[in-house]
Amino acid sequence: MKKFTKMCAVAACALFAGTATVSAEDYVWKSVTAGDATTYGIRSDGSLWSWGWNEKGQSGNGVSERTATPTLADGNRVWKKTVGGKAYGFFLAEDGSLWAAGTATNGVQGTNDGVDHKVLTRIGTDNDWADMACSRFWGYSAFAIKTNGTLWSWGENSAGQLGIGNTQAQTLPVQVGTDTDWKQVAAGVSSVLALKTDGSLWGWGLNMNGELFGYEGRQSSPVRLGSETDWEKVLVIEFRAYAVKKDGTLWAWGDNSRNLLGFNTPTEEESTSEGNPVEVVTEPQITKPTQVTAVEGEVLAVSGCENTLSVATGTDGIIEKVWMFGSNADGALGDGKGLGNGNKDIPFATVPVNPSLKSSLKFTSMSSGQNYTMMLTDDGDIWGWGCNRGGQLGDETPNDQLQVAYKLKPIVINCPQDEVSSVGSLKDGKVDAAVSFDGQVLALQSDGLLTSGKIYDMKGTAVMILAASETSWNVATLSQGVYVAEFMIDGAPVTYKFAVK
């Protein structure tokens, strides 16, 4: 008979806590995402952590102070994915629920209450969300795809970027058309690109720089871009569009005024109105997808901000090389040659440079914010470089030193080993539940209606379905490890974390 040890359980307005038994070295990072200047990490136990700027509560940890120390945002659920915009973030749980934190500008929270949120706040009650995206970075629009392939949007809509046929902002998710085959969506300031499951490319919103090639002016509903069906992933940064084909090649189009599409376009000297010389790109717009040949290898990830472009290449899902373009302010390119923002003659790379990463490291993901980049290794370490003035690198720099903080080369970020112990609550306060073990059996006591129950491993995979008609379940067949049981009672989640020895 396996031995079970209770770690912690959270139910509605009550906390049921025990002693954790997972050793410190068991905790590593499972994912990392860079927002504008706030970073979100999911730990191997499924808990959500955040660090960096927090002026609107976008860290979701209940405070408004920036910090360079990873801080627990939520340990009540198993988290799957995070995305961040300018002072706001969205969070997808393994149970399919969608949450928001940060500024409510133009309704971007999607919660229809018009207030900023310093703690994670649920968007509606649906449990069938599969993916989400938001403006990168100077915009306040959000998008999400459900498990049935439908696309939804909310927030700012001044250029028709929500794709719903008008320019009215939305404070709740609204379905985009009736199609059920959406695969991925990406948004810039006010231009949006999306892929369907057949590999076709679609777009809508502002079209100021040819982002919606083949069309004139803005489009307030999705239109198909080209006839090709071999697109694999898309990204929009500001007014720049990037897409990767199924063969791993990178293509770019749109705003090229800062030479950040990767083409090293020639420049010529012109004079400003004050008579000062300035270098101007000879081809400021690229109006159709054009292959970026400056990077070599299969493209696995593309990221960046208004000042930079970062591209990762590799094989079999392992990143082998990173290519950085653009401004090296605050060490954004990671090659050790950057200068602090505000200095004169900050290097600007129109030909890619490579950050100083150890060749022995195997990376699986990359995400860039404003002048900084975070990467995750296959064994759960996070490495980062660039701007750290809000603590977005998570290197535990004291707050009184952050104003001038940046890293010219990649550094490793510690993973907190704190045991999760937090209190969950529901607004209606109606759920009362308790979870317990008697050795082999997981038991639930509640006066509410149980509609579903699942057990997840720490990768977020459901490993056992619990019959809703029962109140106790034999879980002795689970192998050694840490798990989270989640029960839906009266439409609200009750979670219980435990270790199998």
CA 306 to chain centre: 17
- Burial of 268 from C-beta contacts in 10 A (0-12 / 13-18 / 19+): exposed
Q: What residues have CB less than 8 Å from 498, skipping those under 6 apart?
A: 4, 5, 6, 7, 437, 442, 482, 483, 484, 485
Q: Residues 345-381: pLDDT tens digits?
A: 999 999 999 999 999 999 999 999 999 999 999 999 9
Q: Residues 216-248: pLDDT tens digits?
A: 999 999 999 999 999 999 999 999 999 999 999
Given this model, what pLDDT does residue 501 score? 65
Q: What is the pTM of this model?
A: 0.82
CA 475 to chain centre: 33
Given this model, what pLDDT does residue 190 score? 97
Structure tokens at 273: 């109105």
Given this model, what pLDDT does residue 121 score? 94
C-beta separation of 332 from 326 below 8 A: yes
Segment holding 491, helix H or strand E: none
Segment holding 325, helix H or strand E: strand 318-327
Structure tokens at 478: 């689970």
SS3 398: coil
Residue closest to 452 by CA, chosen among 94, 159, 55:
94
Given this model, what pLDDT does residue 29 score? 98
Given this model, what pLDDT does residue 439 score? 66
Residue stretches of the chain with pLDDT short of 70: 1-25, 421-431, 437-439, 458-459, 501
